[in-house]
Amino acid sequence: MRAGIAASTAAALLLGACDRLHGRDGDSDGSGDAEVEVTLPVPVEAEVVRVGDMRRAVIASTTLRGARELGVVAETAGTIRELPVEAGDVVSAGDVLARIVNDEVRIAIDEAQAVVVRNEHEVERLRPLYDRGYLARQTFEEVEFQLESARTSLRRLQTQAGTQTVRAPAAGVVTARPVEVGVVVVPNQPLFTITDTSRLEARVAVPERELLGLREGQPAEIVADAVGGAVVAGHVDRIDPVVNPQAGTVDVTVVLDAPSVTVEDHGEVALRPGMFVTIRIITDVRHDAIAVPKRAIVREAGAPRVFLLGDAVEREAAAPDADVSELLRLPAYNVRRVEVELGYEDGDYVEVRGGVERGDRVIVVGQSGLDIDATVALPNEAPATADGSE
C-alpha cells in the first residue's frame, strides 16, 4: 500500500512538472523573457538496510493432524442401536461410543445359557447318587462332560457379543464417525476415529537434496492461514529413513509445541486437525547479516543489483512556478548502482553480500529504469529550507 501511494505521488509530481521544465526570469535588459532550465529529481522511496539474523528454511504446505489417532472398529456383526456421540465431541477413556445388537446371537446365547443351567441341575441331582455308589462312574462323567461342552458353547457365543458396547480407548476428540443408528455392521468395520488434539503434527515431503541440512529437534514455524496467518513454534520430530524414489522426497514430521495460538481480538484459539498450514523448517541462521527488501532487487542481464542513495547534491535554483517548486524543494541525492550476491531469503527480505553496508538506504520504489546519473528525491522526506537545512 505504501509503495502504491509513493508511486502515485511521484506520478502526480512528474505530471505537474513535465510542462514546466523551464521557469521565467528577468533578463539583462529587463524584458523578463529569459528562461532558466531546471532538472527535476526522480521521486523514489527508500529504506534503511536491515541488519540482523537471516534464516534459511525449507518451506512446504500440508494439513495438521493429531499426533495420535486411534481407529475404533466393530468387534461383532449386528445393528447399531445407540450412538451417543457425534464428530467433534470430546470423549474420555471408557466413554460409551455405541451399542451394537445382533438379535440372532442374543437368541443363541439365551438358548446356550438354558442348556448350561439344565446340565448344572442334572449334575447336582446325580452327584449324591454317584457319591453313594448307586451311579456308575462312566455315567456321571458323561453328564459332567455335557455340562462342560455346554459352557464352552456359551463362551464361544458370548465372544460374538450379542450386544457389543463400544467404548473410547483413550481421551480425545471424535474426528470421524462414518456410521449412523440402524446401520448393519460387520466385524472390523470402522466406526470412529479418535484424535488426541493436545498434540498436533504436520507431515511434509521434503526434497532429498535438503537431507544434509535436516536433523531431529530442528526448530520450525507453522503458519496457519485459518487464524489470520498466526505463527506457532514447533520442531522436527521424525525424519523417515527411506526416500521416495519416484518423487525424490523424504517425509518429515513436525510437531507443534502448543495446540493453540493467541490471535489479536480473539484471544486463545485452538488449532484443529485438517487445518491448512505452511511449514518452515529452519536449517541455518546467519547472524548480523545485511538484508534488503526483495522489492529492492533489480535484475539486469540476469545479475541482481540494488540502487543506493548516495550523497546529497546541491540544490539548483528553484523555479518560481509553484507546481514545480514543491518537488524541487525536496533534498536531492545521487545514486549508486551496486551488483550484489544474494543469500538467504527470510520473509520479505533477502540477504545481500558485498557492496552494501550498515546505514545505507536502498531504493525500493522507482528504481526500475533509473539512470545511474540521475538525482532522486524522497516525496515523504521533509522539504529543505532556504538555507538547505530540513
| Closest-CA residue to 60 (of 275, 205, 200, 231) | 205
For cell 449324591, the residue is 128
Strands of the 184-185 sheet, one edge to the other? 163-167, 96-101, 78-82, 184-185
Q: From CA 215, how far away is CA 238, in angstroms rounded?
A: 8
Cα–Cα nearest to 193, from 210, 178, 208, 215: 178
What are 238-284's pLDDT values in tens digits? 999 999 999 999 999 999 998 888 887 778 888 888 899 999 999 88
Contact 288, 357 (CB under 8 A): no
122-165 pLDDT per residue, tens: 888 888 888 888 888 888 888 888 888 888 887 777 666 557 78
Q: Shortest CA distance to 163 belongs to which of 228, 104, 248?
A: 104
> pLDDT tens digit string along 47-71?
999 999 998 889 999 999 988 889 9
Q: Which three cell numbers stand for residue 64?
A: 495438521
More confident residue, 75 or 217: 217
Q: What does the alpha-carbon distance between residue 257 and residue 219 come to, in Å, rounded to a whole number?
A: 10
The pLDDT of residue 268 is 83
pTM for the whole thing?
0.59
Measured distance CA(93)–CA(79) in Å, rounded: 24
